[in-house]
Amino acid sequence: MRTFFKALAALIFCGGSAMAADAVSVGTVGNSSDAAFFIAYGKGYWKAEGLDVSFVPFDTSARMIAPLGRGDLDVGAGTANAALYNAAGRDIAIKIVADRSRTEPGSRFQVLTIRKELIDSGAVKSLADLKGKKIALVTTGGSQDATLNEAAKKGGIKWEDIEKVYLAFPQQIAAFSNGAIDGSIMVEPFGSNAEKAGVAKIFLPTEDFITNDQIGMVFFSEKFAKDRKDVGVRFMRGYIRALRDYNDAVDKEGRFSRGPKGQELVKLIASQLNMKPEVIADAFTQAIDPNGRVNEASMRRALDFFKYEGLISASNVAVEQILDNSFVESALKDLGPYTPAKE
């Protein structure tokens, strides 16, 4: 009820006019990790908060850093990569404000895929067999680097023993086909798509070698966070409402349920991604905290790896410099604790 009255007050303040809504630009990367953005938009949660949200597409989250740093983009999404920490070291303040995607026990959203011939021939039977193999990652200095490092350690080999190939997810299917890569750390629906295409097989979920891996997060530009804090809190209220819808619609198998709640979200997300609904329905979903909180321990583990690899220019950069929990906490005061409402 508190959220309703706040939204009503915003409409009264704006005179009920859509023209008076606060504009918010949101960067997206065109995969299912953006699901909660699409839900909040499609179900009108941001509109109810008096916000006029527009999506700005990017091919990688790394390309959001510059416009976020300048304040040209209000909200971004992606991983806490080396570029983000290096920006913080140069006093370009971009804040991580909420969870966007992670793994949890039983999760199959992020997987290690291996070229089909290598599994069929027995050339890859364990993580130790990654030695000398060409493994695809989306971008250098990304969180996947730290994830692959954990796979190497679990297999008793070194990070340096693995050849890294940097390719965007859509390019990796073709790379499997022509033998340009031997494996990849993939998120859904790309892992399932590679397996359906017959070019790769899902070897292991990454949860088997790195637990509770924080994959994606929501970013606010400093300008947005400081100068438009009330708008940021209203944005977060709508976002967390979407997170709760998302969690309520996921079944025990880690896919969207076949009931009305699950299928409503499948259609909504598929429409935004310009994908067939069955692709979203068949894919495993990411875990997202229904209260929006990030896994700080996972962030610190990745930052330690970036520093070890010499990818961070300022040695004193810390997670606390880029993490701002205030928007989540303010939103939760209004929304209250999450109560599951599975169908």
What pLDDT sits at residue 124? 98
Grouping H, G, I as helix, E, B as strand and the rest as coil, residue 17 is coil
What pLDDT sits at residue 13? 44
Q: Could you give the residue range(s) of every CATH 3.40.190.10 domain in the chain?
A: 2-104+213-335, 110-208
pLDDT digits 0-9 by tens, 233-292 = 999 999 999 999 999 999 988 999 999 999 999 999 999 999 999 989 998 999 999 999
What pLDDT sits at residue 18? 45
pLDDT digits 0-9 by tens, 194-231 = 999 999 999 999 999 999 999 999 999 999 999 999 99
Average of per-residue pLDDT across 4-18: 47
Quote the pTM value: 0.86
Given CATH 3.40.190.10, say whether it is the number of domain 110-208.
yes
Which whole-number Å values give the CA distances from 40 to 29, 80, 283, in the listed order? 16, 23, 20
pLDDT digits 0-9 by tens, 33-88 = 899 999 999 999 999 999 999 999 988 787 888 899 899 999 999 888 888 888 88
Answer positive or negative: Cα dihedral of 288, 332, 52, 248: positive
Grouping H, G, I as helix, E, B as strand and the rest as coil, residue 77 is strand
What pLDDT sits at residue 127? 98
Which whole-number Å values give the CA distances from 254 to 22, 195, 276, 288, in the listed order? 36, 18, 19, 12
What pLDDT sits at residue 14? 47
The per-residue pLDDT of the chain, averaged, comes to 90
What pLDDT sits at residue 342? 66
- The CATH class that applies to domain 2-104+213-335 reads alpha beta
